[in-house]
Amino acid sequence: MSLPLIEPDLGLLREGRVLIDVRAPVEFAQGALPGAVNLPLMDDEERHLVGIEYKRRGQDAAIAMGERLVSGGIKAGRVAAWARLIESHPDAIVYCFRGGLRSQVAQQWLADVGISRPRIRGGWKAMRQALCTRIDAAAEQPLLVVGGLTGCAKTSLIQALDQGLDLEACARHKGSAFGRHPLPAPSQIDFEHAMGRRLLDLPGPVVVEDESRHIGAANVPLAFWRGMEAAPRVRVEMPLDWRLAQIHKDYIDDLWEIHRHQFGDWLGWRLMRKQLANALARLRKRLGGARLARLQRLQALAFREHERGNRQAHEAWLAPLLTEYYDPMYRYQLEKHDHQRFLHVGDWDSCLAFARDWVADAERAGEPRAATPA
C-alpha cells in the first residue's frame, strides 16, 4: 500500500492545519512547526536506546529494537492517541524530522486501523527551511520601523496595524530588563517559526518596532535585522507623565494579571515581586551601586504600599527608572545612528496615522514613499 505524501507548502500553516509531530518530546521542545501537536512515535528514552543501537549495529538492528520497545499496549496507546486527534481534525498531517522512517511507521500503523493521512515530504526540516526563506525574503519587502522612548506604547501601535509584525510577542518578551514573561521563553527555533508564520500573512509592507537584535533570549535573524537597520523610521514622542502611566500598565498592572492568572493570588504576587526585584538588580552595572540601592528601597516601599491598595506608589521608582536609565540609553543609541533620519516625528496618534498612510502608499506603489525627513 502506498503511503500518501504532501509537499512542504507553507500554505498548510496559513490554513491552520493541525500537524501531528511524531518526533520525541526533546526534539519538539527544541522547536516545532506552528500548529503542531506532539504525539511521539517514541519517547525520549526509547529514542535514546534506538540511537545507541543504530550506532552500534546499524539501521536494521535499530528498527528491530524500536519495534520491540514500542509494541503491544504501548503501540496501541500511541495509535489511539493519533486516531483521537484525527477524529477531531480529519485533515491532520503527520511529520517527523525529515519525513522519513518515523512518519512512515506512524502512517502505516494508522493505515492498519483504517486511517489514511499524508506525511510531509522532507518533514520538519523542509518546512523549517521554507519558513526561514520566508523571513529572509521579508527583508526585501518595504519595512517601516517605529522608534521612541520607553513608554511610548510602540508595541500597541504595531498591534493596531494590520501590517504590524510584533517581534516581542514572537519572543514572549517585552525587549527590556523588565520585559520577561512569567511563562518560559520560546526556543530560538520557535521564535523564528512564529515570525515566519506571521509573515505568511504579510506579503506587502511590514511595520516593526525598533528593537535590538536580541529580544530576551531570542535573536532576530540576521537578514531581517539588516533590513530593519536600513529601513526608514518614525519616532513616537510622548510626555513623561503619559509614558509613566504606560510603563506602570506594562510593568505592574499587566504583569500582575498574567501572574495572577497563571499562579493565583498568593504565589503570583510573590513571583511578580521577585521578577521585578531581580530585573532591577540586573541593572547594577549601568545604574551604579548608590543609584541602584535608592531604586531598590523605593521599589520595596512601593510593593508595601501596593499591598495596602496604593498601586500608584510604583511611580516613585518607575519615574527615575525612565529618566535615569531608559531615556539616556535610547538617546545614546540615537547618537550612534545619527545618520538615520525619521520620516515622521510626532505623538502616538499621528505616528499611527502616518504608518497607515505609509502602508497604503507602499501597497499602491510597491515601495515606500519618499518623505521629507524630519
Alpha helices (runs of H) in 222-367, residue ranges in sequence order: 222-230, 240-248, 255-263, 265-281, 284-287, 289-307, 315-321, 327-336, 348-365
Q: How far apart are CA 169 and CA 325, in angstroms?
A: 24
H or E stretch including 193?
helix 188-199
Dihedral angle of Cα 130, 132, 138, 140, to the nearest 10 degrees: -100
**Mind telling me the catalytic residues?**
96
- All 3 cell numbers of residue 189? 527555533
Residue 366's Cβ-count burial label (10 Å; 0-12, 13-18, 19+) is exposed
Q: Let me know how many helices (H) and strands (E) the chain has, helices first.
A: 19, 12
> In this structure, are residues 207 and 144 in contact, taking their beta carbons and an 8 Å threshold?
yes
CA distances from 241 to 151, 166, 313, 315 (A): 10, 25, 14, 10
Q: How far apart are CA 348 and CA 155, in angstroms?
A: 11
Contacts with 325 (C-beta within 8 Å, 6 or more apart), sequence order: 283, 286, 287
What are the b/e assignments for 63-78, b being 16+ CB within 10 Å?
eebbeebbeeeeeeeb
